[in-house]
Amino acid sequence: MQPLQTTSLRVRENQLFILDQQALPQEKNWLPANSVEDLVGHIHALRVRGAPLIGLSASLLLALLAGRGVARDELSTALETLRASRPTAVNLMNNLDRMKLALAQADFVHALEAEAGRLIDEDKRLCDDIARAGSALVTPGSRLLTHCNTGGLATAGVGTALGVIARAHQEGKVANVWVDETRPLLQGGRLTAWELGELSVPYQLITDSMAASLMAKGQVDAVWVGADRIAANGDVANKIGTYSLAVLAKFHNIPFYVAAPHTTLDPDCPNGEAIPIEQRDAREVTGVAGSFGAVQWAPDAARVYNPAFDVTPAELITGWVLDTGVVRFPLG
């Protein structure tokens, strides 16, 4: 394959590297992801994360494996293993469906490489279209609240919800961004804060439980989030805590927008109840670990409930900002 560089992905000399999002913002480490086992491990550990980026990294790996001479049946097995690595994010399934069609071609090596390249280019265009459509909804002087990380770290382009915020900032319309720290692994505090700083967007970091008080004081003009899956009825699965924000925004009469590419839509999923929700390691709740070591604050016998995502009902969403335009509730 041709060399490739995005914020979080690199292809050099037919090798795939991922930016370790566990190490950010203190360290910028590029890790090899040259086997299915490597990439699945990175995905589970959230070293690779973001619904679009997960799908793109899996597609690139399949293309690279094909270029190294891996047989068609082995690639088929690899594809299905990658598909099972992140059950909630539908972008992964959609991308791999396209790669599966390429794998069925007579010259599957060329077909897989070409399709992976198209997916990268398409994601960049989708992000630009989302940013353009979303920025039109941002009013001058806006104080925006966002959850999790939805920028260039999570996509091949400028991002989804964070891409909207970045474009609106460039247009002089953003006064401040409230950044939820976001569990699991504080992806807002580590990643979104870092990206906004790199973009010189004014922001303030808050804990997830502070959003209600800010809204009550009139300090939030709109909420912008991304999505891992959008069901046919408009229900949205996104990082845990998104549903809480939607309920709070509804109560305080604050617009609540979901920014996502059309690849996040799942027409075969009737509603939010049908979306599989990933459960994560209890240790993410009972303590913390990092380069500094490990600390546990909960009792050893503590039972833990740790879903990575929740589902926001469609009726709480002001608008779905897609690359195809803005869809508003009620649907249809």
Q: Which residues belong to the active site?
A: 228
Distance of alpha carbon 147 from the chain centroid: 11
- Find out whether 294 and 260 touch, Cβ atoms under 8 Å: no
Sheet holding 15-19, edge to edge: 4-5, 9-12, 15-19, 30-32
- The C-alpha angle 74, 14, 38, rounded to 5 degrees, equals 55
Residue 151 has a CB neighbour count (10 Å cut-off) of 28
293: left (phi over 0), alpha (psi -120 to 50) or beta: left
Q: Which one, of 35, 29, 98, 108, lies nearest residue 66 by Cα?
A: 108
SS3 305: coil
